[in-house]
Structure 1
Amino acid sequence: MKRIFVFIAMISLGACKSPEARYPVSQNSGSYISESITKNQELLKKEVAKIEAIIKEDSTREYKPSQNGFWYVYNKKTSDSTNKPNPEFGDIVEFDYSISTLDNQAIYAEGEKETRTYAIDQEKLFSGLRQGLKLMKEGETVTFLFPSYKAYGYYGDKNKIGRNLPIKTKVTLNKVTEREELKPEN
């Protein structure tokens, strides 16, 4: 009986060995990431060159570069004296928009998309439009030129917009409801 206890004790002590780290069978050098970065930089250069050519060709209007990596032009601008605020975090906006290629081929024509109600920075919307809405005031219409990374990027919209497609988006901001207006009165 004593031998059985000694045997169990030896097995128990042998099983207490600390686990060893497993190492990968092969290691990658990270070249895939480097290739991907290079490919995306080249894609961005081509898209920016095309956008700049459109801006140069349309010399009658004044396109502005945004700090967020896209360009825009006012189709209808409200006067600065109206004191209407730009939408901020949490404000509810109602807007209409259409989307086309940079060559003006309609993807979603005007009226094809329903009027959209959106809470600024609290709902899903592609990054360029989310940032563009903050530049607008109620009643304005703006055309945005978005490189693909600011639009629908690598995946597209899984419907009509393909991958890595720069787009032109015309947006009319119909109404802005500020956060304070949303709070119940006491």
Structure 2
Amino acid sequence: MNKIFLLVLAMLFFVGCKSPEARKPISVKTGSFIDASVERNKKLNAREQAEIQKILSEKKIDYLSSQSGFWYYYNIKTDVDSLKTPSFGNIINFNYDVKTLDGATIYSKEDLKTQSYAMDQEEIFTGLREGLKLMKTGETVTFLFPSQKAYGYYGDQNKIGTNVPLICEVTVNSISEK
């Protein structure tokens, strides 16, 4: 009886000290959704780039290309070197309008009224935030934003829909320290 008890005890000890085994996954994800999303975005980007390049070639204006992925030209440029571009925390007072690439007005300057924006401390769409960093007091700039620099996939939940590239004419009235 003691031998059986010792044998059972030894077997329990041996089984109880076994290290845990890794479980095999039940299902394997292939990443097909991500691959399809990447392809959709590449096609969308190519289509928007073609539309913007068409506008750039039709107009007799020399557009500048930003490092951030949008285009712009100065309607009114300030040549005064003493004026600075905004930096973190500066308050920018500006007016702007929003149009589609075909020139249809979505929001006029009257609709949007004069805006005050604390640089990099408040929410504003990416392209406009980056565009304001290029401007000085008194300048007016026209920007062409692809949808990923504008309101992107979600739009503005009002008049701007999904994946809409935009044209914005922006005038900086003043830049002040916080």
TM category, shorter: 0.7 to 0.9
d(CA) in 2 for partners of 1:118 and 1:110?
16
For structure 2, list consecutive stretches of 5 or more residues without a partner in the other structure.
Answer: 1-12
Distance 1:97 1:19, change over 3 A: farther
Paired position in structure 2 for 1:74 = 74
What pairs up with 1:82-97 in 2 under 5 angstroms? 82-97=81-96
Paired position in structure 2 for 1:64 = 64
Distance 1:161 1:27, change over 3 A: same
Paired position in structure 2 for 1:126 = 125
Distance 1:85 1:28, change over 3 A: same
TM-score normalised to structure 2 length = 0.85
TM-score normalised to structure 1 length = 0.82
Partner deviation per Cα, 1:1-38 (whole Å, 9 max, x = no partner): xxxxxxxxxxxx9xxx9988776532220011111111
d(CA) in 2 for partners of 1:89 and 1:22?
50
AA aligned to 1:87 is: P
Distance 1:176 1:20, change over 3 A: farther
Paired position in structure 1 for 2:36 = 35
Distance 1:111 1:18, change over 3 A: farther
Aligned residues: 165
RMSD after superposition: 2.0
The Cα of 1:82 is off from its aligned counterpart by 4.4
Paired position in structure 2 for 1:25 = 26
**Secondary structure of 1:128's aligned partner:** helix
Distance 1:27 1:110, change over 3 A: same
What pairs up with 1:138-153 in 2 under 5 angstroms? 138-153=137-152
The Cα of 1:109 is off from its aligned counterpart by 1.4
d(CA) in 2 for partners of 1:104 and 1:41?
25
For structure 1, list consecutive stretches of 5 or more residues without a partner in the other structure.
Answer: 1-12
Q: Which has the larger radius of gyration?
A: 2
Partner deviation per Cα, 1:33-75 (whole Å, 9 max, x = no partner): 111111101111110111111011001x211000000000111
Paired position in structure 1 for 2:45 = 44
d(CA) in 2 for partners of 1:95 and 1:106?
18
AA aligned to 1:44 is: N
d(CA) in 2 for partners of 1:18 and 1:159?
58
